[in-house]
Amino acid sequence: MMICPHCWCGDACGREPVLVPGPSRSGRVLEAVLDLYSKHPWVCDLDPPYLAQELVRRGYFSYYDPPTLVDVGGAQDIIRGVER
């Protein structure tokens, strides 16, 4: 529950914005990691935080909307599983 931004009631009055989760970006993250992996095989050796930074640095994602570490780690796991 969130505090109402429209009044000073300090409680829920029914006019609060509804927070709807956006679509999952895991597919987009997987595509970006696969593309980077095709150019640089060392992608699977990076820790997810560093790979997420690398994806932003190389322009796959915006600095203000980076990929989640869960999605990056999942993409790495998929690549490693196929690689074996």
- 21-37 residue pLDDT tens: 556 788 999 999 999 99
With residue 82 as reference, give the H or E element that holds it. Answer: helix 69-83
Residue 40 lies inside a defined structural domain of this protein: yes
What proportion of the chain, given as a percentage, has pLDDT over 70?
A: 71
Q: Please classify residue 68 by burial: count the beta carbons closer than 10 Å to its beta carbon, then call 0-12 exposed, 13-18 middle and 19+ buried.
A: middle
pTM confidence score: 0.70
Residue 16 lies inside a defined structural domain of this protein: no
**Residue 41 phi, psi dihedral angles, 5° rounding:** -65, -15
- Please name the residues in contact with 47: beta carbons below 8 A apart, sequence gap of 6 or more: none
- Contact between 44 and 69 (Cβ < 8 Å): no
Residue 32 lies inside a defined structural domain of this protein: yes
Residue 9 lies inside a defined structural domain of this protein: no
- Contact between 43 and 33 (Cβ < 8 Å): yes
Residue 41 lies inside a defined structural domain of this protein: yes
